[in-house]
Structure 1
Amino acid sequence: MTVAPKRPAMTLAAHFPERTEVEWRELAAAVVNKSRPEGQGLGAADAVASMRTALEGGLEVDPLYTRPADPAPLGVPGAMPFTRGRALRDADVPWDVRQLHDDPDAATTRSAVLTDLENGVTSVWLHVGADGVAPADVAEALADVRLELAPVVVSSWDAQVEASDALYAVLSRSAASSGNLGLDPVGAASRTGGEVDLAPLAGAVRRLSDRGEIRAVTVDARVHGDAGASTTDELAFAVATGVAYLRHLESEGVDVAEAFRHIEFRVSATADQFLTAASLRALRRVWARVGESIGVPEADRGARIHAVTGGRMFTRDDAWTNILRSTLATFGASLGGADAISVLPFDTVSGLPTTFSRRIARNTQILLAEESNVARVTDPAGGAWYVESLTDEVAQAIWTAFQEVERAGGIVDALANGVVAQRISDAVAERDTALANRSKPLTGVSMFPLAGEQPLERASRAELPVAANALVPHRDSAAFEALRDRSAAFAAEHGHAPRVAVPTLDVPRAADRRIDAVNLLTVAGIDAVAADAEAEATLGVGDTAYEGVSKGMDVVAFLSSLLDETGAPA
């Protein structure tokens, strides 16, 4: 037998000179200072500090990560602390491709479910209630599902018991069926403003004592994330909710390990792919610690996570950009080791999705899994110093917020006494400021808006009745969409959108500055039009009047108002 010669290890970076961190800081400072005025250069430490990025929840990203002096063991999938995954990933079925269906027409939903399953979806998610499928129609919607092949889960805000009973009746038709009955009393009370009723949990768990592949409880943390909670707070509330369910079930005589098995988490995946990956890794670590503290066998401590593209990041205007956000979120969820992933259709803000938008949603994750090969490796980001450091920070932030909720009496009391609402309110206020000044840009909305866009026409969803104290969704783009709506109302009354004359002034980078002004106006749905050429020729910085008003312009915008006396942005 011929033995292949052993090849030397590849030294891809051998020709690069070695640099110390001190040298890197000096090189980085030289680059930063190129864009600063002469004599105002930053020292190495200040230059590096200027390159740090702040994330929501008090997290901070450094410009450079290096191997720690005493790195913690990375661990392995399927073992404590479960950071690297609940189990080894199956290369053939790396995660569950789970599609959401909420069309109230049972026949339409039944057809859509079958189409999705025939084209790559591996499980079904029905949303039931006033804003989804009626409980009585669950059986009809799932009539064509091969229950031994495709798991089915349900969610509901206002009819959880009815939804779980309806799904249980369907799943009982097959001994090999699997899924989740979707009970989440804390989530339901948070979303509707009602009272938390934990009573149905124990009965549902006992009913499934001989059905090991069916679970009873889903902690749907999206209710907090969609309302505006930071990523770390969303996961902290999820852990606190899971702990509340464990305590209740144990008090009802349910074995704690059995109760632990029944809990699945549904969390938001955002367009920050690395934060999403780190968050899922951190959630598994924290939940495994909870399991360890109550005596759950190690093999059973891994959290089951269903990641859903976050509704808060979706935009109504230029909805096609939602496909890009969903792709990043799905990639992050894959890196983080989600057990199931759902991609919301790009037109979900406008109403019920179409066949095309559902196809794009399912294909987003199918293409990532099968063509990018990201799914062939378990925990592909594991060992990257940035991801490991961010995972540590997120886990610490989750645990700190979880302890605050526990000090407030647990998640049920924290909802009642305003601790949860206050943390969400603080996060919304901080985020809205960044959105308003566009330091947190929204592509297609606050940056690079699409002029003359025609709104998508979709069938409307039924509205969910809620009380005054309900946690209602708070999308990031809502304020900018309100500006667009005001311009649309003006256009309906006057026959044209508001118009602004934007002259090109004789200042440095005049053309670029005019483009910036035009884009800023388009954000609010205002038409920017060229000013009169003769008048433009006479304009200079400091002019305060323009004859364009008499030429039919609703407003006259002077680029000089954006400049100081030196021509720099004011």
Structure 2
Amino acid sequence: MADSKEKLFSDFPSVSTEQWMEKVTADLKGADYEKKLVWKTNEGFKVKPFYRMEDLEGLKTTDALPGEFPYLRGTKKNNVWLVRQDICAKDAKEANAKALDVLNKGVDSLSFHVNSKELSIEYLETLLKGIEAPAVELNFSVCQGHAVELAELLVAYFQKMDYDVKELRGSINYDYFNKMLTRGKEKGDFIQTSKALIEAIQPLPFFRVLSVNALTLNNAGAYISQELGYALAWGNEYMDQLFSAGVPVSFIAKRLKFNFGISSNYFMEIAKFRAARLLWANIVALYNPGCLRDCDNKGENGECRCAAKMAIHAETSSYNLTLFDAHVNLLRTQTEAMSAAIAGVDSMTVTPFDKAYQTPDEFSERLARNQQLLLKEESHFDKVVDPAAGSYYIENLTVSIAKQAWEVFMKVQEEGGFYAAIKAGTVQKDINETGKNRHKAVAQRKEILLGTNQYPNFTELAGDKKSVECKCCCGGDHAESGIETLNFDRASSQFEALRLETEASGKRPKAFMLTIGNLAMRQARAQFACNFLACAGYEVVDNLGFPTVEAGVDAAMAAGANIVVLCSSDDEYAEYAVPAYKALNGRAMFIVAGAPANMDELKAAGIENFINVRSNVLETLKAYNAELLK
């Protein structure tokens, strides 16, 4: 059998890159290779249409091993990750009951949003009653002003329970800079609080209490290289400030936790997490961290390699969640979870599909849990470490993203560091500009949101659904100090507002496809027009074809159409467009599907509306709503 396999490879001669390019060039028939096949990413680098083994030459990433510095392929030698669920603990007893329930359903990491007003040892005892702390990762979020108090109470509680502290894993989500980004609010003394927090949690060696919430950037629409570059600068700000304040580097690094978002760019997200570990390991190494205990994981000069391990929690993005056709969110979050699992994150939260329009219910939370459990129990993603290793494409993506992220990192350092950049508003302006560009891309359908700006559900109504913002415990306050904040409008928000406007008006316009002439072209343009207009919630009526434009117009009027869309070929518009427009005689809005060469002539005849692939779908539909919903 082995011989036959070897013969199989020898029977087929290898094909060189030059031969592939000759074939590609021939098939392009004179078209520009760079314009047609090379993709320029939002991150600013180019992606080729194919990669070969020779593209790995010179890449040091292929020398990395799992669990070894610089941790490109993971900080451990397995791919086990923790399934996390968030619980809002306004009522400790109710939160405890929910925690005990989900722990029996596959969750092994809990994240409690703690009610700071009720914080006490009794509150924690109620919250954690019956939970075997060594068997589950315990994470806590609380208002900044109560983070040190929470740390002290946790230490007291665990000591009272007589746990072996070396078996306890978890975190406190203290992040001074995140509140500045989200609420424009700066409160307390960052250095003194951080030092007090590190000191208070000292009895719990595996609890991380300083957070880098790059998820915030992701949910504001940041590009991947921006999220990573700013996250590195964010983490380095903790390192630099606290080290200057006299805290040992190893103490700081081992208390840091990075919370990343996961976008829908599948392969690039895999590459992002690989690049993140690599870059962070090298940043920490520059501080030459001393080893806190005697172990074998040391560098050439005795520096602590364990301190260079990046602890990563990943959460699926809220930026691309949609209110309409919400079950498509399950497809988005599933591929996002897959990319994070393949990339080897330490823990993960899958956002429930209904989060955009309501507080997630028991059903949506169950689905979110099971999405991860399917990856583990049925797809066995946890059984293979870094399966992306050696991939010609992903290894090159990893290097490209690392370079772009490093440029962002260095730019922040030149501005005086992350804190200075936030105070100046440059981080917020950069991310908000990206968000603006992405919203424009969604409006023009250059960035697709299935079910929202492409292939919408024609008959769906929102009913009582409306966009909501999750507020748990101490959330809800707004900018107070004049610091610019991030914009968290989801990518679909403007299309949703448009469709909700249509629904609320009670005047759902009816769009009638007047299909005539060339069969292939009229069908293609009718399908295009139906999808285009349904994005505003219009009723669309497709047709098999009409023998004359007069027959089509009569049928449209009989159907009570508010819009008539002429669907034919460019050549035939010269024959059909003006007669159809005159036959309609202003009784409904008249639209031509396409961008025919004689468009100027048709406009001169009075035809104003054309829809095609170059149209700004959102702005066009806004204009139609303004006219049709009067």
* Cα distance in structure 1, aligned partners of 2:154 and 2:583: 68
Q: Secondary structure in 2 aligned to 1:500?
A: strand
Q: 1:431 is aligned with what amino acid? A: R
Q: 2:19 is aligned with what amino acid? A: E
Query: 1:85 Cα deviation (Å)?
Result: 0.6
1:333 to 332, 340, 345: 340
| TM-score after normalising by structure 2 | 0.79
Query: 1:265 Cα deviation (Å)?
Result: 0.3
1:22 to 18, 21, 39: 18
More deviation, 350-359/14-23? 14-23
Query: 1:106 Cα deviation (Å)?
Result: 4.6
Q: 2:531 is aligned with what amino acid? A: N
- Shift in CA distance, 7/154, structure 1 to aligned 2, threshold 3 Å: farther
- The residue that corresponds to 1:148 in the other structure is 134
Q: Determine if contact 1:98/1:125 at 8 Å carries over to the other structure.
A: yes
2:238 is the alignment partner of 1:251? no
2:581 to 544, 547, 554: 544
* Cα distance in structure 1, aligned partners of 2:502 and 2:130: 47
Q: Determine if contact 1:306/1:338 at 8 Å carries over to the other structure.
A: yes
Query: 1:109 Cα deviation (Å)?
Result: 3.4
Q: Determine if contact 2:74/2:274 at 8 Å carries over to the other structure.
A: yes
* Cα distance in structure 1, aligned partners of 2:538 and 2:551: 22
Q: 2:136 is aligned with what amino acid? A: A
2:188 is the alignment partner of 1:202? no
Aligned-pair identity (%): 27
- Shift in CA distance, 360/287, structure 1 to aligned 2, threshold 3 Å: same
- The residue that corresponds to 2:47 in the other structure is 61
Q: Determine if contact 1:449/1:523 at 8 Å carries over to the other structure.
A: yes
2:477 is the alignment partner of 1:465? yes
Q: 2:589 is aligned with what amino acid? A: V
How far does the alpha carbon of each residue in 1:157-210 deviate from its partner, in whole angstroms, 9 at most, with x for none?
666626656655655554243210111111122112111641311111112222
Q: Secondary structure in 1 aligned to 2:330?
A: helix
2:73 is the alignment partner of 1:84? yes
Q: 2:181 is aligned with what amino acid? A: S
How far does the alpha carbon of each residue in 1:537-560 deviate from its partner, in whole angstroms, 9 at most, with x for none?
78722343453964xxxx534235
Structure 2, unmatched stretches of 5+, are 290-303, 555-565, 567-575, 600-609, 615-630
| TM-score after normalising by structure 1 | 0.87
More deviation, 272-281/151-160? 151-160
Q: Determine if contact 1:160/1:184 at 8 Å carries over to the other structure.
A: no
* Cα distance in structure 2, aligned partners of 1:549 and 1:156: 61
Q: How does 1:401-412 map to 2 (within 5 A)?
A: 401-412=408-419
- The residue that corresponds to 1:559 in the other structure is 592
2:494 is the alignment partner of 1:479? yes
Query: 1:300 Cα deviation (Å)?
Result: 3.0
Q: Secondary structure in 2 aligned to 1:367?
A: helix
Q: 2:591 is aligned with what amino acid? A: F
Larger Rg: 2
2:185 is the alignment partner of 1:185? no
Query: 1:60 Cα deviation (Å)?
Result: 2.6
More deviation, 75-84/402-411? 75-84
* Cα distance in structure 2, aligned partners of 1:203 and 1:384: 45
Q: 1:26 is aligned with what amino acid? A: E
2:58 is the alignment partner of 1:70? yes
* Cα distance in structure 2, aligned partners of 1:80 and 1:192: 37
- The residue that corresponds to 1:513 in the other structure is 525
Q: Determine if contact 1:501/1:548 at 8 Å carries over to the other structure.
A: no
* Cα distance in structure 1, aligned partners of 2:19 and 2:252: 54
* Cα distance in structure 1, aligned partners of 2:513 and 2:417: 56
Query: 1:58 Cα deviation (Å)?
Result: 1.3
- The residue that corresponds to 1:504 in the other structure is 515
1:522 to 534, 538, 543: 534
- Shift in CA distance, 536/14, structure 1 to aligned 2, threshold 3 Å: farther
More deviation, 426-435/261-270? 426-435
How far does the alpha carbon of each residue in 1:438-491 deviate from its partner, in whole angstroms, 9 at most, with x for none?
011111111111122243767964462211633242311112112112212212
* Cα distance in structure 2, aligned partners of 1:444 and 1:336: 28
* Cα distance in structure 2, aligned partners of 1:50 and 1:339: 39
More deviation, 257-266/482-491? 482-491
2:198 is the alignment partner of 1:224? no
Q: 2:331 is aligned with what amino acid? A: L
* Cα distance in structure 2, aligned partners of 1:142 and 1:383: 44
2:37 to 51, 54, 62: 51
- The residue that corresponds to 2:297 in the other structure is none
Q: Determine if contact 1:270/1:328 at 8 Å carries over to the other structure.
A: no
* Cα distance in structure 1, aligned partners of 2:463 and 2:69: 48
How far does the alpha carbon of each residue in 1:310-361 deviate from its partner, in whole angstroms, 9 at most, with x for none?
1112112111111111111111101211011110101111121111111111
2:355 is the alignment partner of 1:355? no
* Cα distance in structure 2, aligned partners of 1:274 and 1:22: 26
Q: Determine if contact 1:318/1:445 at 8 Å carries over to the other structure.
A: yes
Aligned length, in residue pairs: 543
* Cα distance in structure 2, aligned partners of 1:418 and 1:352: 32
Query: 1:143 Cα deviation (Å)?
Result: 3.3
1:373 to 353, 364, 380: 380
Q: Secondary structure in 1 aligned to 2:516?
A: coil
Query: 1:9 Cα deviation (Å)?
Result: 5.5
How far does the alpha carbon of each residue in 1:363-384 deviate from its partner, in whole angstroms, 9 at most, with x for none?
1111112211222111110111
- Shift in CA distance, 6/223, structure 1 to aligned 2, threshold 3 Å: closer
Q: Secondary structure in 2 aligned to 1:152?
A: strand
Q: Determine if contact 2:323/2:465 at 8 Å carries over to the other structure.
A: no
Q: 1:536 is aligned with what amino acid? A: G
2:269 is the alignment partner of 1:276? yes
CA RMSD of aligned residues (A): 3.0
How far does the alpha carbon of each residue in 1:291-315 deviate from its partner, in whole angstroms, 9 at most, with x for none?
1100121233110100110111211
- The residue that corresponds to 1:37 in the other structure is none
* Cα distance in structure 2, aligned partners of 1:226 and 1:315: 13
* Cα distance in structure 2, aligned partners of 1:10 and 1:134: 70
* Cα distance in structure 1, aligned partners of 2:7 and 2:215: 46
* Cα distance in structure 2, aligned partners of 1:464 and 1:138: 24
Q: Determine if contact 1:65/1:385 at 8 Å carries over to the other structure.
A: yes
More deviation, 303-312/14-23? 14-23
* Cα distance in structure 2, aligned partners of 1:502 and 1:82: 58
* Cα distance in structure 2, aligned partners of 1:528 and 1:107: 51
- The residue that corresponds to 2:559 in the other structure is none
Q: 2:495 is aligned with what amino acid? A: F
- Shift in CA distance, 412/315, structure 1 to aligned 2, threshold 3 Å: same
* Cα distance in structure 1, aligned partners of 2:205 and 2:360: 34
2:314 is the alignment partner of 1:314? no
Q: 1:20 is aligned with what amino acid? A: S
Q: Determine if contact 1:278/1:387 at 8 Å carries over to the other structure.
A: yes
- Shift in CA distance, 12/408, structure 1 to aligned 2, threshold 3 Å: farther
Q: 2:441 is aligned with what amino acid? A: A
Q: Determine if contact 1:157/1:192 at 8 Å carries over to the other structure.
A: no
Q: Secondary structure in 1 aligned to 2:134?
A: coil
How far does the alpha carbon of each residue in 1:236-280 deviate from its partner, in whole angstroms, 9 at most, with x for none?
211111111112322333211111101010001111121111101
Query: 1:522 Cα deviation (Å)?
Result: 0.8
Query: 1:20 Cα deviation (Å)?
Result: 1.7
* Cα distance in structure 1, aligned partners of 2:142 and 2:248: 26
Q: Secondary structure in 1 aligned to 2:180?
A: helix
